[in-house]
Amino acid sequence: MTDKSANRMWGGRFTASPAEIMEEINTSIGFDKRLAPQDIRASKAHAAMLAEAGIIDKEDAAAIIKGLDAVAAEIDSGKLVFSRALEDVHMNVESRLKEVIGTPAGRLHTARSRNDQVATDFRLYVRERIDALDEALAGLQLALVRKAEAHAATVMPGFTHLQPAQPVTFGHHLLAYVEMLSRDRGRLADARARLNECPLGSAALAGTSFPIDRQATAKALGFDKPTDNSLDAVSDRDFVLETLAAAAICAVHLSRFAEEVVLWTTPQFGFIKLSDKFTTGSSIMPQKRNPDAAELTRAKVGRIAGAFQSLLIVMKGLPLAYSKDMQEDKEVAFDALDSLGLAVAATTGMVEDMQPQAAAMLAAAAGGYSTATDLADWLVRVLEMPFRDAHHVTGRIVAAAEAQNLALDKLSLAAMQAVEPRITADVFSILSPQNSVKSRVSHGGTAPQNVAKMASAWRKRLEKGPARG
C-alpha cells in the first residue's frame, strides 16, 4: 500500500493515497535526484533572500541554510535514502530538512513553488553541463590542433563522394573538425547566454504577493537577471531544447569523425593505427582489431538527436503554464548530455592515440588522378586556356593515362602533347601530390605553410582559454 505520508507535502486537499500506478507514473525521484546539488544551492539563496527581505526571521534562515548544508553532506556521502513516496528531489530535500532542523524548515517554501524551483534547478544544471562540455570540446580541439601541427605536410587524399578528389594534408583535414567544434562551442555559448535568467520567485505561475528581491537571488545564483514573465519562466524549456539541438549537431560532427576513423583503420585504407586502448578484439577471429570506441561514438548521435526530438514533441502542444508533461524533460536531457560528454572524451582519446601512416596516405593520394585539377589549372595559368577548355583537355589526358594504367605524373610528355601540343615538361612540376598541396596557398587552403600557420594560431588561442569558440 502506498504510504499516506506522501500527501503531507500536498496539504489537506487529499484524503486518500494515490493508486499504486499513479505513484509509478508520477514519481520522478529516480532520475531528478541528480538535481539535488542545484536544488540545495537555489534553496539556500532563496532562504537568504527571504531573511534579507524581512519575510522570515534571520535565525530561521540561518537554521535552514545550515540544515541544507547537512542534507547536502548526507547526499554527497550516500547516506540519504531518497523516498519514492515523496515524489521528487524537492520534496525529499525539504522533508529531510524538516527532520534535521524542525519547524523552521516549513518556512523555506514561502514565496516559491515547485514550478519555479525545478525551472531554476534545471537551468543551473544545464548551465553547468554546458560549461563542462565547453571545456571538454576545447580539449578536443587542442588535441586535433597538436596532431595537425605535427602533420601539417603529411599528404593524404581529399575526398568528395568518398572518391579521391584532390590531395590535401592530414593536418588540414583535422583542422576542418576544429572549425566544426568551434561552431559547436559557439552554439552552446549562445544557449548558455539565453538560459542565464533566473525563474526563482515566479512561484507557481503568477508571481507572489510577498516583497521578494528577485534580483538578489538571481545574482546569488550567478544569473544575469531574473526572468521578466512568470508564466514563461515556469513553462519555458527552450533552454533545454536549444542545448539539446546544439548537442545533436555536435554529436553529428563527432559521428562524422568517428566514421572516418572506422574507415581509416581498415586494411583497405590503412591511414591510421589505434592502440589497444581504443580498440577491441573478436571472440572468434584472433586477427581482429575493432575500432569500437569510434563505432560507439558514431552511435551516440542517435540517442542525442532522439532526446532533442523527444522533448520537442513533449512541448509542442502544452498550454501555459506548467504541465506535468514537462517532467519528461530531464531523463532525455541527462542521457543526451552524458552521452555527448562521453563521446567527446572518447574522441579526444582517439585523436591523441592515433598514429597516422604517412606512406599509405601518400600512396592513396597519388591514385585516382587526384592532381587532374592541378593539370587543368596549369593549362589555364601557363597556356592561358579558358578553364572549360582546360577541363576538356585534362579529361582526355586522364583518359590516356587510364588507358595505359599510369599515374598522371608517369604519363609521357609525348602522350600529353598528342592531346595538347603546347604542353611542356614544366607540367611535371605540378603533377605530384606533394607539389599539388604546396600550390594551394589561398586563404583556408591546404598548403602546408597555411596549415602550420592556422594550427599555431588555434593552439595559442586554445591554450589561452577559457574563451569559447
Catalytic residue positions?
A: 161, 282
In 134-193, at which residue ranges do the beta strands (DSSP E only) sit?
155-160, 163-169
CA atoms within 13 A on the CB side of 279: 18
Residue 366 identity (one-letter amino acid): A
Dist CA 365 CA 371 (whole Å)? 9
Angle at 17 between CA 8 and CA 319, to 5 degrees: 80
How far, CA to CA in Å, does 119 sit from each of 23, 233, 375? 22, 7, 62
Among residues 60, 167, 109, which one has the least CA distance to residue 440? 167
Contact 92, 70 (CB under 8 A): no
- Report the DSSP pairing between strands 163-169 and 197-198: unpaired
SS3 158: strand
Q: Which of 295, 291, 259, 269 is nearest to 157 (CA)?
A: 269
| Pairwise CA distance, residues 159 & 136, whole Å | 29
Residue type, 59: E
Q: Name the residue among 368, 374, 237, 253 with its Cα closest to residue 312.
A: 237
* CA nearest neighbour of 375 among 415, 317, 330: 415
* Residue 323 to residue 239: CA distance in whole angstroms: 17
214, with CB counted inside 10 A (0-12, 13-18, 19+), is buried
Report which residue type is found at 234.
Answer: V
Q: Strand (E) positions, 182-318? A: 197-198, 225-226, 272-273
Given a contact cutoff of 8 angstroms between Cβ atoms, the answer to whether 463 and 149 are in contact is no
